Chain A
Amino acid sequence: MAPAPLLLSGSRAWPRLLGTQRGLLVQGLQGARRGSLGSQVGQRGLQVLGPPGGLLLLLQQGLSRGFAKVAKTRSSREVREAEDSAPVFQYVGERSKRKERVFVWGFCHAGALGIPSFVKPDAGWKKRRRIQPTPYRLDTAEKISSAACGYGFTLISSKTTDITKVWGMGLNKDSQLGFQRSRKDRTKGYEYVLEPSPIPLPLDTPQETRVLQVSCGRAHSLILTDKEGVFSMGNNSYGQCGRKVTEGEIYSESHLIHRLQKFDGRVVQVVCGQDHSLFRTERGEVYSCGWGADGQTGVGHYNITSVPTKLGGDIAGVNIVQVATYGDSCLAVSDEGDLFGWGNSEYMQLASITEMTQVNVPRHLPFKIGKIKDAACGGTGNAVVNGEGNVFVWGYGILGKGPNLMETATPEMIPPTLFGLSDFSPDTRVSRIRCGLSQFAALNNRGELFVWGKNIRGCLGIGRMEDQYFPWRVTIPGEVVDVACGVDHMVTLVKSFI
């Protein structure tokens, strides 16, 4: 406190400087500025560097004189001196960390976006929102490392060692988000969860195990941990949770979370189809359980499988590095870049190798499109990314090459110029591809998100309600790291620019 008055009386230049700039200095301290791209320039870590002596305290003295100042033209020397002695603000340190954020958009009524005021407005002027057409930020307690969208619900998880590792929001009529105890009646559970609520996992060592990945299907979900296997919850009428089907079991308000540990090796990836589940172990083997009427379990028959069973066929002995599914057809990628498919083929997904509309054994897809790096399976269409970063699509529906291409059995390449390749940026490549039920989402290496497909209830996030027939950029204030597509909503994990 002591140095401040000395500074005031010592230099004559200060009052004038602060007089003109006082309003602006205060704004710099208290306000949060918004850059034009929508990202917030916050005031965390804001410091005022300048002449020592507590400039902040000078502000509190109150330097307004109460009568108008005589206007005087300042010489350039005076201007230069005033500029040199102005304080320097620091908004961000030299080694600042980029912040992780989550953005959501799509259909709101089920609560799958996790923002309660969309469904139950908390202020008089707010209205119930049916659709969120553009990305909206979701505030999360922890850094989210994995997200998955199901049919009307969402799961997000963090790699923390805290007790709460997984949060769920949206539809909970089959306990796909576990048991969410209602606050009004302690014996009942919520049918719709409107904001991210913790899911209590029955872990043996809750403060050591980390959740690696989550996945959601139509009415069931899977959670992958690093030490304690896979947890499944939700509807089990087809055995998709990996346990025996009980006749007449009531799935709503159920406390049951089943642990699956009987695999030959550690499970490193879980994916949920509509009513089936796939597990990939670190040895490159694939297990499946659930509904098999379309052959999506790939075990050689069309019945229900209620215990995870290893797949054979063309992937026996092959080191599989990725499996993908969302509807009733599945794809698997081997470490050498080969592609295998099984399941539903009514929409020409496997028409290049067979006329049958249901394939219940994994078959190799001999496409000549280079080594496959990433694959994604939608409801009626499939998409892959090859080693050069080119996207290939096949199947039925809006595939991304204009309204004229509605179905194809062999992969067609989408021109890379639609993903941001230009003369000024010639090394732009697509790095990831994801599929919702009838939409596609692609991420390029610059962190830009491109979406296309049927715009069901605004799930594409482009601000319009019309279908998008070729890849369209989604404007997000950040660099997109991962995206999860659902039926009518999407969730993205984003890193801030700075």
Chain B
Amino acid sequence: MAARRAARTGLNGLFAVYKPPGVASIRVRDTVETLLLKELNSLEQPAVQQQVRFLPTTVEGNAGKELTLTVTQLPVLAAHPLVRGPEFTHLKIGAGHRLDTKSSGVFVLGVGHGNKLLTDMYNAHLTRAYTVRGLFGKATDDFSDTGRLIEKTTFDHVTRDKLERILAVIQGTNHKALLMYSNIDLKTQEAYELAVEGLIRPMEKTPPLITAIRCLQFAPPEFQLEIQCLHETQQYLRKIVHEIGLELKSTCVCTQVRRIRDGFFTLDNALLRTHWNLQNIRNSIQDSKSKVKVGLQRSLSCQARSGKRHTDMDQVAESKLHSTEGMSASDLTHKMR
């Protein structure tokens, strides 16, 4: 009993799992919950409570059968596991930014008191990084390679140079939209200083914005992009790939969308399917506790202090946050510097 309760109390916080493609994220959340419950319920069974009962029995006496009371020890039915059922039937596990069925990658879950941190992470408006693979030559109705074919085109004129030109324009227009949606008065000196440091970011709900995009691999007909974005959906990223195809006067479908970073959590922190057990999850929660706490504190305090806008001091702190975010993603991609 005590071991179980102890195990349960340690299970409060945020952790990341790797969601495989082809599975809905709600199913992933349910699976994690089921596995955790199974493990918690299978921990050492405490001994069933016993009670002493004086039960009437018949005993062979002198003059035939006689009623006497015999001492017996019986298990208390009210405390029997077969009567009560498993001790833990429900765990509060919340899902962070969801991934749709076809995509894969880092999926943040919160357990117990960590669900409150999920709301805080949502309000911190942190960026997420994806690797997106595209295929030239066809266009489909849902922008992915499993959709209904709309058109096939040639793509022998597409070179890496042309693709990077289009990506530069996408990055430029999104950067401009970033400044416009961040609700800052552009005529102030503060706006100039924030623009120089690149720290202007919207802190409220906006349409999807791409903060950075670049080409990692190019081997026609396939290519791979790294996209860092805000407030996006995976279907929006597929649409971006489709529109890149249109801009290049060809067509393109998206074959893979994979999230490599969600706020502070990267692929290194995400647990694979074989590691979804109690011990690993507890370790993961423990490891990420400190950076989650620090990060959320910073962004929440600066939000509280200045309403919707950032002040200079917190911008410096935010810039450190940005640099750590960028650093962890660059473990997976080649370093630019």
List chain A positions with a Cβ less than 8 A from chain B. Answer: 21, 24, 28, 33, 35-37, 39, 41, 49, 82-83, 86-96, 401-404, 415, 417-418, 420, 422-426, 446-448, 466-470, 472-473, 475, 479, 497-498
Contacts and interface: CB of A to CB of B under 8 A. Distances in A.
13 contacts: A41-B246, A86-B151, A86-B152, A88-B152, A402-B193, A417-B196, A418-B195, A420-B172, A446-B168, A468-B186, A470-B195, A479-B165, A498-B248
B154 interface: yes
A401 B154 CA distance: 47
Interface in B298-337: 326, 336-337
B152 A469 contact: no
Contacts of B80: none
Contact of B171 (A401, A424, A466, A467): A424
Nearest to B149: A83
Contact of A422 (B162, B165, B191, B212): B212
B5 interface: no
A interface, by DSSP: helix, strand, loop or mixed? Answer: loop
B221 interface: no
B172 A448 contact: yes
A447 B162 CA distance: 13
A415 B196 contact: yes
Contacts of B162: 497-498
Given A36-B246, A426-B337, A466-B186, 19 more contacts: A28-B151, A37-B169, A37-B243, A83-B138, A88-B154, A91-B153, A91-B250, A402-B193, A403-B189, A420-B168, A422-B212, A423-B212, A426-B336, A446-B165, A448-B169, A469-B191, A473-B173, A475-B176, A497-B165
Contact of A93 (B151, B157, B187, B188): B157
Contacts of A90: 153-154
Given A423-B336, A498-B248, A402 B165 contact: no
Interface in B273-312: none
B97 interface: no
Contacts of A448: 168-169, 172
Given A96-B157, A469-B186, A497-B247, A87 B152 contact: yes
A183 to B, nearest CB: 41
A98 to B, nearest CB: 10
In the A-B complex, list the 6 residue pairs whose CB atoms are closest, starting with the nearest: A402-B192, A35-B246, A35-B247, A36-B243, A92-B249, A402-B189
Interface residues of B, number: 44
A469 B153 contact: no
B198 A88 contact: no
B172 A37 contact: no
A157 B212 CA distance: 38
A94 B248 CA distance: 12
A472 B151 contact: no
A460 to B, nearest CB: 12
A415 to B, nearest CB: 5
B60 interface: no
A479 B176 CA distance: 17
Interface of B: 137-138, 149-154, 156-157, 162, 165-166, 168-173, 175-176, 186-189, 191-193, 195-198, 212-214, 243, 246-250, 326, 336-337
Contacts of A93: 157
Which residue, A447, A467, A469, has most C-beta atoms of chain B within 10 A? A469
B246 A33 contact: yes
A417 B173 contact: no
A446 B214 CA distance: 14
Nearest to B322: A423
Contacts of A423: 212, 326, 336-337
Contacts of B152: 83, 86-89
B334 to A, nearest CB: 12
Given A35-B246, A469-B186, A498 B176 contact: no
A90 B158 CA distance: 12
B244 to A, nearest CB: 9
Nearest to B150: A24
A403 B188 contact: yes
A37 B173 contact: yes
B238 to A, nearest CB: 13
Contact of A417 (B156, B189, B198): B198
A177 B247 CA distance: 38
Contacts of B247: 35-37, 39, 497-498
A49 B213 CA distance: 33
B172 A473 contact: yes
A473 B171 CA distance: 11
A425 B214 CA distance: 9
A87 B251 CA distance: 13
Contacts of B189: 402-404
Nearest to A95: B157
A37 B176 CA distance: 14
A160 B156 CA distance: 32
A93 B196 CA distance: 41
A447 to B, nearest CB: 8
B192 A91 contact: no
Contacts of B175: 473
A472 B149 contact: no
A82 B187 contact: no
Contacts of B151: 24, 28, 86, 89
A21 B172 CA distance: 36
